[in-house]
Amino acid sequence: MKITAAITAVGGYVPPKILSNADLEKMVDTNDEWIRTRTGIVERHILDEPGKATSDLAVGAILPMLKKKGVDPAEIELIICGTVTGDYVFPATANVIADKIGAVNAWGYDVGAACSGFLFALVTGSRFIESGAHKKVLVVGADKMSAITDYTDRNTCVLFGDGAGCVLLEPSTDGMGIQDSITRVDGSGRDFLIQKAGGSMLPPSHQTVDQRLHYAYQEGKTVFKFAVTRMADVSYEIMERNQLQADDIAWLVPHQANLRIIDATADRMGLDKNKVMINIQKYGNTTSGTLPLCLWEWESQLKKGDNLILSSFGGGFTWGSIYLKWAYDTEA
Ligand code: UT7
């Protein structure tokens, strides 16, 4: 019998503090109208508690999910965390998460693929289920973007928010779960969306701090151009090679970087807007957090057998899509 990797539970968390467009108007030369019309963002959540990091966002998503599902953290065999704002350069945030949730029998690692972090982690995690190596894999997307956001730079500070989401992957023998995926990278795009310092290319120094090189830098227009075509192309390509028509698709789950990119992707797929998960207005771009935060928010509307297309585009460049069949109905 063929084993597929099915999502059997979802969780999400955003910190309580809200940073609104009106707040940002007081910090940089911007305005609510520009932010709304150019990006679709109205507010985002920020983790501002000292001593709290990306792992804490992840734990906020994971523990309620495991409790609801009735899974003991000791049953988790593998934790894969998509993030670009890990608690430390090393060790991996997956290790910290394992410790904080009591996953005493797990191994784990991080996936650094920027806004495609969760999508790449989900594809990777599914392989461990499909091969029979593991039966309970925790896939997390978590980013404390406020830690690398320059709140004096209007080009980037209006875009990002903090948040995390997670899914539990388990084997399915009734054909539900992940059916197909397309994953791509193009490192020649690395200069357009990058945290320049802090790695081995430019280790931290007084100079790198003075030059503000530890913040996320983006050449927005260039990234937009790539994102809008790549995300639409890859979403269309996965439909085509699985003989899916727009009517066959229940939901598009797109990365939330810019409402105009999401709209272009839905248009290319021929999908009505009411089949597209959109929460960018509340959370902004939470990088690895966007896809699982959508699944978490829409969970109660998803039905067993629903065809979902997940798609992402991120710094690096990284992009991809997943076609999956939703594996369960949520009890009211
Ligand atoms: O998640 C990973 C992938 N990332 C993305 O997909 C993001 C892709 N890029 C974008 O979403 C868009 O490029 C942005 C939202 C970042 C920018 O929108 P845009 O329509 O490309 O604007 P722009 O960069 O071309 O800037 C237009 C104008 C500029 O003024 P001038 O040079 O025309 O006078 C900017 O200086 O808007 C100005 N501007 C702002 N104005 C008010 C830039 N940021 C702001 C701001 N408030 N926050």
Q: For residue range 196-238, what is the model confidence (pLDDT) as tens digits? A: 999 999 999 999 999 999 999 999 999 999 999 999 999 999 9
What is the spatial distance between Cα 162 and Cα 208, in angstroms, rounded to a whole number?
A: 24
Residue ranges matching CATH 3.40.47.10 in the chain: 4-175, 179-325
User: According to the model, what pLDDT value does residue 331 have?
Assistant: 73
Task: Tell which atom from ligand 1 comes closest to the C-alpha of 261.
Answer: 6
Residue 39 CB less than 6 A away from ligand 1? yes
What is the spatial distance between Cα 137 and Cα 170, in angstroms, rounded to a whole number?
A: 7
Residue 156 CB less than 6 A away from ligand 1? no
Residue 160 CB less than 6 A away from ligand 1? no
Cβ-proximal residues to 198 (8 Å cutoff; 6+ apart), any chain: 89, 204, 208, 213, 214
Exposed, middle or buried, 86 (CB in 10 Å: 0-12/13-18/19+)?
A: buried
Residue 33 CB less than 6 A away from ligand 1? no
Mean pLDDT (whole number) for 50-71: 98
Q: What is the CATH class of 4-175?
A: alpha beta
Exposed, middle or buried, 97 (CB in 10 Å: 0-12/13-18/19+)?
A: buried
**Amino acid identity for residue 320 in this structure:** G
Task: Specify the residue for token string 């109660």.
Answer: 300
Peptide bond into 91 cis (omega under 30): yes
Peptide bond into 160 cis (omega under 30): no
Residue 166 catalytic?
no
How many percent of the chain have pLDDT more than 90? 98
Instruction: Name the pLDDT band for 332 (thresholds 50, 70, 90).
Output: low
Instruction: Name the pLDDT band for 251 (thresholds 50, 70, 90).
Output: very high
Q: Alpha helices, DSSP H only, in the chain?
A: 21-25, 32-39, 54-69, 93-101, 117-130, 154-157, 206-210, 220-241, 259-269, 280-283, 290-298
User: According to the model, what pLDDT value does residue 322 have?
Assistant: 98
pLDDT at residue 146 is higher than 80: yes
Fold annotation for 179-325: Peroxisomal Thiolase; Chain A, domain 1 (3.40.47)
For residue 155, report the distance from its CA to the centre of ligand 1, in Å.
6
* Mean of all residue pLDDT scores within the chain: 97
User: Which whole-number Å values give the CA distances from 231 to 54, 102, 180, 202, 311, in the listed order?
Assistant: 26, 37, 16, 31, 6
Residue 45 catalytic?
no
Nearest CA to ligand 1 atom 43: 155
pTM for this prediction: 0.97
User: According to the model, what pLDDT value does residue 181 have?
Assistant: 98
How many percent of the chain have pLDDT more than 70? 100
**Among 286, 293, 321, 294, which residue's Cα sits nearest to residue 114?**
286
Task: Specify the residue for token string 């608690």.
Answer: 87
What is the spatial distance between Cα 161 and Cα 57, in angstroms, rounded to a whole number?
A: 12
At 279-329, the pLDDT tens digits run 999 999 999 999 999 999 999 999 999 999 999 999 999 999 999 999 999
For residue 54, report the distance from its CA to the centre of ligand 1, in Å.
26
CB atoms within 10 A of CB 281: 15
Residue 36 CB less than 6 A away from ligand 1? no
User: According to the model, what pLDDT value does residue 238 have?
Assistant: 98
At 82-106, the pLDDT tens digits run 999 999 999 999 999 999 999 999 9
Nearest CA to ligand 1 atom 18: 38
Residue 179 CB less than 6 A away from ligand 1? no
Instruction: Name the pLDDT band for 20 (thresholds 50, 70, 90).
Output: very high
For residue 284, report the distance from its CA to the centre of ligand 1, in Å.
14
Cβ-proximal residues to 118 (8 Å cutoff; 6+ apart), any chain: 82, 139, 140, 141, 165, 288, 289, 290, 291, 292, 312
Mean pLDDT (whole number) for 155-173: 98
Catalytic residue among 45, 81, 134, 255: 255
What is the spatial distance between Cα 24 and Cα 262, in angstroms, rounded to a whole number?
A: 24
User: According to the model, what pLDDT value does residue 1 have?
Assistant: 80
